[in-house]
Amino acid sequence: MNVFASFGAFLGAAALAGLPVPTLQTAVSLRDTLVGGRGAAEIARSLCDRVGPRLAGSNGAVEARRWAVEELTRLGLRNVHEESLMEPRWVRGTETAEIVSPVRQRLVVTALGGSGATPEGGVERPIVATRDVETLAALGAAGVRDRIVFFTERTERTRDGSGYGKAVSIRYAGPSEARKLGAAAVLIRSVGTSSTRLPHTGVMKTEAGIPPLPAAALSAPDADLLERIAAAGPVRLRLTLGCRTEADVAGANVVGEIRGSDRPEEIVLLGAHLDSWDLGTGAIDDAAGVGIVGEAARAIVALSRPPRRTIRVVLYANEENGDRGGEAYRDAHRAELDRHVAALEMDLGTDRVYRVAASGGPEANGVVAAAAQLLRPIGVSERGNDAGGGVDVGPLRAFGVPMLALAQDASRYFDFHHSADDTFDKIDAANLAQATAATAALAWIVADEPGTLGRIPPEKRKERAW
């Protein structure tokens, strides 16, 4: 694609947003240079292959931080450093499940993050099947006490991830709600869209000073089996989990910058999370996001001039099982949050961006319109003014920091995430390049244009990930 192909088509949008022609011209150049590259995939490959699983509190998380400092430095960012925090250490142990009666059937399970352990030898109880937290409440303590609660809700496959957004509340809140009613343990149908016999883990809610219930996810075929047998009559099941929670350990976010030329104190934040679950190698969740923001930053560093504002890349710790990375960044940078012009988080895998959106003041509308027109040639067909942000940048929302969003097609993302199947072979280099091109172009526009996106109005500052 010619660097200036269809450039005239963008001038109307540029005028609408008050964008200088050189700003938009450079954004077009970034778009066209990156859309056919492999840099993001190579960064993701390096993280997966050199580090592998990197759950917060593990040795893998330590190695990931070392890798990140080295990688951001190699990519040309300045002021690369770690910002310390304390993160949880939860250790997975033995995990087995078996239907004891009316037939004997072994089931494939994995413990939820933060789960408590069963007694040695496991817990054997009748199961009670229920769809979700609402139907659980309707059963009351009499229908739940001293049983294993089995949540059967399925995750709908959707392009925008809303099916996951609906089902994940069961994984998060289901065990604690079942504990309040006296349950002995919890099983959930994996919050994912895969039909393989590979269960998906994920964090569950825990409360300080209250022992967490043993809780595990069933692979989809085994959840189907258990649901069929339970529909025919009473079922007794044995669950054994050997997981444990240990004392918090030292962790850190890893930060690097492209220093702005005219307004270096104003910041455009590009984020992804460095940690992963322990079952796979965290390829789509979130080595892909690390690759996107890293390669976008490398391409901007390579330009003949820096943007007017500083672009700050933040690779967050502990997104998966504690959200402490996002909270620690908010607390460490509270004094400068009024100078954060925008925040963009990439954490939805390896597939193509189809939508650009922002949440800010009225000023954001023109910038998003220009960005949408700029990105249309690479397949970004939708735009909006409702960017949610994400888990890591979400804590900034309460301070009015504008959120940017590049929505990726999530149709296949939940086949793999949080499972042993989240490995580098799932990375689609061409789709990842398109997402990287969109990220770099959008980041450049916001960092280089004279105006800002305003601030999120107070009535819209409630944190939300979707």
For residue 7, what pLDDT is reported?
A: 54
Of 26, 8, 49, the closest CA to residue 287 belongs to 49
Of 360, 355, 367, the closest CA to residue 405 belongs to 355
Segment 99-140, tens digit of pLDDT: 999 999 999 999 999 999 999 999 999 999 999 999 999 999
For residues 76 and 302, is the Cβ–Cβ distance under 8 A? yes
Which strand (E) or helix (H) includes residue 152? none
Q: What percentage of the chain reaches a pLDDT higher than 70?
A: 95
Average pLDDT, the chain: 95
Beta strands 95-101 and 105-107, pairing class: antiparallel
For residue 19, what pLDDT is reported?
A: 84
Residue 313, strand partner residues: 256, 270
Tell me the whole-structure pTM to 2 decimals. Answer: 0.95
For residue 4, what pLDDT is reported?
A: 42
Nearest-angstrom CA–CA distance, 277 and 200: 10
Nearest-angstrom CA–CA distance, 401 and 393: 9
The sign of the CA dihedral 327, 203, 57, 436 is negative
Of 255, 419, 256, 444, the closest CA to residue 342 belongs to 444
Mark whether 319 is an active-site residue: yes
Nearest-angstrom CA–CA distance, 456 and 424: 37
Nearest-angstrom CA–CA distance, 70 and 321: 25
Nearest-angstrom CA–CA distance, 164 and 161: 5
**Domains of the chain, with CATH numbers?**
7-90+248-460 (3.40.630.10), 93-242 (3.50.30.30)
Segment 172-218, tens digit of pLDDT: 999 999 999 999 999 999 999 999 999 999 999 999 889 999 999 99
Residue 208 makes CB contacts below 8 A (sequence gap 6+) with none
Q: How far is CA 384 from the centre of its chain?
A: 20
- 83, 319, 320, 345: the catalytic one is 319
39-50 and 429-448 are packed helices; what angle lies between their axes, rounded to 10 degrees? 110
Would you place residue 12 in the very low, low, confident or very high pLDDT band (cuts 50, 70, 90)? low
Residue 94 makes CB contacts below 8 A (sequence gap 6+) with 240, 241, 242
Q: Is the model's pLDDT at 269 over the cut of 70? A: yes
